[in-house]
Amino acid sequence: MPVRWVVVLAAALVSCSGDEGAACGPSAGTVAHVVDGDTIVLASGERIRYLLVDTPESVNGARDCFGHEAAQLNRQLVEGRAVTLRYDGAQCRDRYARLLAYVDVDGREVNRLLVERGYACVLYIPPAGAGRHAELEALETVARQERLGMWAACQVVTCE
């Protein structure tokens, strides 16, 4: 095999290995500010939107049922804390230029916690999150059936 093909093949293997979403943004950071139930700002200034998660609104004058509670839980989980970020590689940012990520704190995934505790609905906008969409939908179904969080507190759930 000619040397130039070996170099091309080696470069291709390196570019395909590792975290497919690593090119999206940082893999870790400290949460400087919690915007609401599904959005945070890192100390670096990056705005992060939790992938596959939608919570009732609580900012800009919105007072959706359970919006304040979702923001408060998010604040308790991550504000001022070191988090790790994982990307699915299908889409890095949403239409508001926020990074789309799964966010982990102390070995727990915040996206998952919000849905399974009834503080969030699943928001699937293909292609982002395709690999985990069904998993989070199943968690939402259980939270609804068990009337957890907003599923018990709200007559109208606005994130559906």
Whether residue 93 lies in the annotated active site: no
All structural domains of the chain with their residue ranges: 14-153
Give, in words, the CATH class of 14-153.
mainly beta
- From 57, 69, 116, 140, active-site residue: 57
pTM for this entry: 0.84
Question: Which of 4-8, 25-29, 31-35, 86-90 is least confident?
Answer: 4-8
Query: pLDDT for 55-81, tens place per residue?
Result: 998 887 778 899 999 999 999 999 999
Whether residue 49 lies in the annotated active site: yes
What amino acid is encoded at 64 in this protein?
D
pLDDT at 15: 35
- From 69, 98, 112, 116, active-site residue: 98
- Retrieve residue 37's tokens: 């139930």
Query: With 50 as the cut, is the pLDDT of residue 18 above it?
Result: no
Query: With 60 as the cut, is the pLDDT of residue 27 above it?
Result: yes
- Retrieve residue 143's tokens: 């939270």
Mean pLDDT in residue range 42-64: 91
- For residue 25, give Cα distances in angstroms to 22, 88, 110, 122, 137: 6, 11, 18, 23, 26
Mean pLDDT in residue range 40-60: 94
- The answer to whether the CB of 135 falls within 8 A of the CB of 58 is no
